[in-house]
Amino acid sequence: MDLFDKCNRFKEHRLAKAAGIYPYFLPIAENHGTEVTIDGRRIIMAGSNNYLGLTKHPKVIAAADEALRRFGTSNNGSRFLNGTLELHVQLEERLAKFTGKEAALVYSTGYLTNLGSISALMDKGDVVVLDKEAHACIVDGARLSPADVKRFKHNDVRDLERVLSSIPAKAGKLIVVDGLYSMEGDIAPLKEIVKVAKKHHARLLVDDAHGFGVLGTRGAGASEMLGVEDQVDLVMGTFSKSFASLGGFIAGPRAVMDYLRHHARALIFSASVTPASAAAALASLDIIEREPQLRTRLKQISDKMRNGFQAMGLEVGVGNGTPIVPIFIGDRVKTMQVWRRILDRGVFVNAIIVPAVQPGRDLLRTSFMATHEDHQLDTILRIVKEVDAEMDLSLASAENATSRQGMPWMSSPS
């Protein structure tokens, strides 16, 4: 059998392109903040993770520009050897303070942060316990380790306890959950998870990539919002969301950070975060800490959009004021068709299909920025209402929905 046979058999993307409903890898010609240019048209962006709207903030751009001129375009090496800058050290110190932890460690991407940290921490005989909706990088980090991997039902603390009860007491145990889940916008019940973790002598890692900058009075994420910052062992975040940059970090006890610094292959063998990216993340952190009004505005926007979609009779889930507002469609092909009609009218959203979500939960992922203006929000609501009138966006039942297998390359996007 030829290794490339499976590649030649893969045709789903061609069929979707031929039908004009392929929603992925769409080239953006220019970013205007809350709008982007695609195929020469200016489109309202309602599918970005730029929650605070900082990618075009003058202070962030100026900081990146200064670092670019000071250090050049690349560090040309890994953190382990020649690629550590004073900027990286400053960023780690600031992030440790921001998260209330002893120390922090910066990786090249958020994906590598989970991949490297989980795989390095877990040994043979240990067990890593994951929420079934955990992000792909969490799953991959667990699989890359020699530890056993167990899953529990999404946000189901009773099922978590059932799983933990089945693990030998002598095994090292790590629970990994998202703080704010990126597809449906729901928040992990961290207060209850912390209690169960302590009862079973397990450590807890919270991936709050989508929560940092957004949740909590200080913007320190789901752990801060739920009052368990000091009870969560490790927190992880990315710079590609509210930090308006590229990279990732993990924070926790200093001994753990030192261990990862010398054992995490994804850190040791990857080129370090570029100077401009590190400086942009530092400038964004300044804004996150000093401008809480951005979070206030973002919640107002999120509530307006969630309420607006619900008033149309659409299912949007329970987001508790988060900027991720899914519109559940329940059918893969219909989801892509709806995406196309919304885009043609001038709004960019994300089509999320099986297996990135559970069967029958195919959805349009809308997400919002603190910098969206009211007239843009009203336009989005009007367009969705128009498409709803044409196609009926009511959630299809799992029994009646079609094309359930999905596309393997859509598994758990960030």
**Residue-wise DSSP of 122-138:** --TT-EEEEETT--HHH
CATH number of domain containing 232: 3.40.640.10
DSSP secondary structure code for residue 34 in this structure: S
Please tell me the distance from the alpha carbon of residue 48 to that of residue 268, in angstroms, as a whole number.
30
Same domain, 125 and 147: yes
Give the total number of structural domains in the chain: 2
Please check whether residue 175 lies inside any domain of the structure: yes
Residue 167, phi then psi, degrees to nearest 5: -95, 135
User: 158 and 212, same structural domain?
Assistant: yes
CATH number, residue 329: 3.90.1150.10
Closest to 107 (Cα-Cα) out of 225, 202, 249, 311: 249
Task: Specify burial of residue 389 (Cβ count, 10 A radius: 0-12, 13-18, 19+).
Answer: exposed
Same domain, 126 and 246: yes
Task: Tell me what pLDDT residue 396 has.
Answer: 60
Q: Are residues 21 and 103 in the same domain?
A: no
Last residue of a domain, one of 290, 317, 347: 290
Give just the sign of the alpha carbon dihedral 325, 328, 334, 338: negative
Residue 53 is assigned to a structural domain of this protein:
no
Point out the residues of the chain with pLDDT beneath 70: 396-414
Return all residues near 9 (Cβ < 8 A) that are at least 6 apart: none
Alpha carbon distances (Å) from 217 to 198, 208, 224: 26, 15, 8
∠ Cα 138 324 43 (to 5°): 115
Q: What is the arrangement of strands in the sheet containing 35-38, beginning at the earlier edge strand?
A: 30-31, 35-38, 41-45, 347-348
What are residue 46's DSSP bridge partners?
Answer: none
Given this model, what pLDDT does residue 320 score?
77
The answer to the question of residue 394 being in a domain is yes
Residue 318 CA neighbour count, 13 Å, CB half: 4
Q: Are residues 344 and 398 in the same domain?
A: yes
Residue 99 included in any domain = yes
Measured distance CA(260)–CA(90) in Å, rounded: 18
| SS3 category, 212 | strand
Shared domain for 350 and 313, answered yes or no, is: yes
Residues 332 and 362 in one domain: yes
Long-range contacts of 263-266 (CB under 8 A, 24+ apart): 263/120, 264/105, 264/107, 264/116, 264/117, 264/119, 264/120, 265/116, 265/119, 265/120, 266/107, 266/108, 266/112, 266/113, 266/115, 266/116, 266/117, 266/119
Question: Does residue 299 sit in the same domain as residue 347?
Answer: yes
Strand runs (DSSP E) across 112-233, as ranges?
A: 127-131, 148-152, 173-178, 203-207
The enclosing H or E element of 139 equals helix 136-144
CA distances from 158 to 72, 164, 192 (A): 52, 10, 10
- Token pair of 155 as six digits: 């946000």
Residues 320 and 227 in one domain: no
**Of 235, 265, 290, at which residue does a domain stop?**
290
Phi–psi pair at 324, nearest 5 degrees: -95, 115
Whether the CB-CB separation of 89 and 257 falls below 8 Å is answered with no
Residue 2 placed within a domain? no
| Cα distance between residue 348 and residue 45, in whole Å | 5
* 1 occurs within a structural domain: no
Question: Is 51 inside a domain boundary?
Answer: no
341: Cβ–Cβ under 8 A, 6 or more apart, which residues? 387, 390, 391
Q: Is residue 52 part of a domain?
A: no
265 and 217 belong to one structural domain: yes
pLDDT at 408: 46
Q: Are residues 336 and 260 in the same domain?
A: no
**DSSP designation for 321:** T
Q: Among 228, 262, 290, identify where a domain stops.
A: 290
Query: Sheet containing 173-178: which strands, arranged edge to edge?
Result: 103-107, 248-252, 234-238, 203-207, 173-178, 127-131, 148-152
Provide the residue range defining the domain that includes 64: 58-290
Q: Any residues with CB less than 8 A from the CB of 369 and at least 6 apart, and which?
A: 33, 34, 45, 48, 50, 51, 52, 53, 298, 301, 323
Residues 165 and 207 in one domain: yes
